[in-house]
Structure 1
Amino acid sequence: MNTTGPFLTLSTESVVPERETPDAGKVVVGQPMFTTWNVEESPDGKLFAGVWEATPGTWSISYDEWEYCRILSGVSIITDNVGNKRRVTAGDSFILQPGFAGTWEVVETTRKEYVIRL
């Protein structure tokens, strides 16, 4: 976590990455791996910001939290439970609100900046 003061950059240089996989029951296709550099966490534990990367695969998603994302690299397809698909690539930004559910498919390893509010 970056604790250098009130002005923070989303730099991954001094952050130890966390590596994980989605829960086995959520994986639809492949063996996606996640790497997360959580740069900031608010004192109350309700806001997080950092960089996340995932390798190819598809898994189910269900949001209880609010998340702002900006894609830095790669290609992903986010599909809601109704079947609406959104292809996201470098430069795209979007918000996933509580209640959003569907799948996240990483076509090409995808890296994003995120801000999550619980």
Structure 2
Amino acid sequence: AGDPSFKTWAQDEAKDGTVRTGVWEATPGEVRSIKGETFEFCHILSGVVEITPDDGEPVVYRAGDSFVMKPGFVGGWKTIETVRKIYVTVG
């Protein structure tokens, strides 16, 4: 929903590609999120998001919050206020 845009500033990657780090930004809107086999640690630097697993309740994260999206996650990612996060993916 909406017309979100995304920016990624990749910072580092393991030689085998299994670990990646960087900063990611999204403008307001909604998208589907499917994690597959990847763990993702996120730390919100600015903004507000609401994440709703297909089989669960929505959770709101704001600047200063951290969370992990586990392998197999499927759900909605709603950017309420332009969000910028630090990420580390493993998988």
Structure 1 spans left out of the alignment, 5+ residues:
1-28
When the two structures are superposed, what TM-score results if normalisation uses the length of structure 1?
Answer: 0.74
The answer to whether structure 1 residue 117 and structure 2 residue 82 are counterparts is no
The answer to whether structure 1 residue 40 and structure 2 residue 8 are counterparts is no
Task: Tell me the amino acid that sits aligned with residue 113 of structure 1.
Answer: I
Match of 1:53 among 15, 25, 33: 25
Between Structure 1 and Structure 2, which shows a larger proportion of strand residues?
Answer: 2
Larger gyration radius, structure 1 or structure 2 = 1
Aligned runs of 1:1-118 on 2, under 5 Å? 29-64=1-36, 65-118=38-91
Higher relative contact order (CA 8 A, sep 6+): 2
When the two structures are superposed, what TM-score results if normalisation uses the length of structure 2?
Answer: 0.96
Structure 2 spans left out of the alignment, 5+ residues:
none
SS of equivalent residue, structure 1 residue 30: coil
Task: Tell me the amino acid that sits aligned with residue 104 of structure 1.
Answer: W
Q: Provide the C-alpha distance between the structure 1 equivalents of 2:86 and 2:24, rounded to a whole number of angstroms.
A: 6
Structure 1's consecutive aligned runs of 4 or more residues displaced over 2 angstroms after TM superposition are none
The size of the alignment, in residue pairs, is: 90
Q: Provide the C-alpha distance between the structure 2 equivalents of 1:48 and 1:102, rounded to a whole number of angstroms.
A: 22
